[in-house]
């Protein structure tokens, strides 16, 4: 439970910015919920790369000290993107 809470803390910074950009891209390419989900699946990893690989590379140490590896954080970004895509495909 503690690990899930810390992963969600990590994703909080990425999620809202990625979702706002994805909505704009989805509206530009047809406005269907499926397009918003696909664009989120692509934008979220780019946002994570920008925020945590380029801008704040040392922030990974905070999550590493909590017991969460860099790979687990990347996997969580892709899993959240896939869950979001599946939900938006159902709508």
* pLDDT at 13 > cutoff 90: no
Map residue 71 onto helix, strand or coil: helix
* Interval 31-74: pLDDT, tens: 889 999 999 999 999 999 998 889 888 888 899 999 999 999 99
Q: What integer is the mean pLDDT of 11-34?
A: 92
Predicted local distance difference test score (pLDDT) of residue 71? 94
Predicted local distance difference test score (pLDDT) of residue 20? 95
The angle that helices 33-48 and 2-28 make with each other, rounded to 10 degrees, is: 120
State the Cα–Cα distance between residues 75 and 55, nearest whole angstrom.
20
Q: What integer is the mean pLDDT of 73-84?
A: 95
């Amino acid at each position: 439970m503690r690990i899930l809470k810390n992963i969600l803390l990590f994703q909080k910074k990425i999620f809202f910015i990625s979702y706002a950009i994805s909505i704009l891209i989805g509206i530009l390419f047809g406005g269907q919920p499926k397009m918003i989900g696909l664009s989120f699946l692509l934008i979220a990893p780019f946002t994570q790369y920008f925020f945590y690989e380029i801008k704040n590379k040392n922030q990974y140490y905070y999550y590493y000290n909590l017991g969460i590896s860099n790979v687990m954080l990347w996997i969580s970004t892709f899993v959240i993107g896939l869950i979001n895509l599946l939900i938006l495909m159902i709508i």
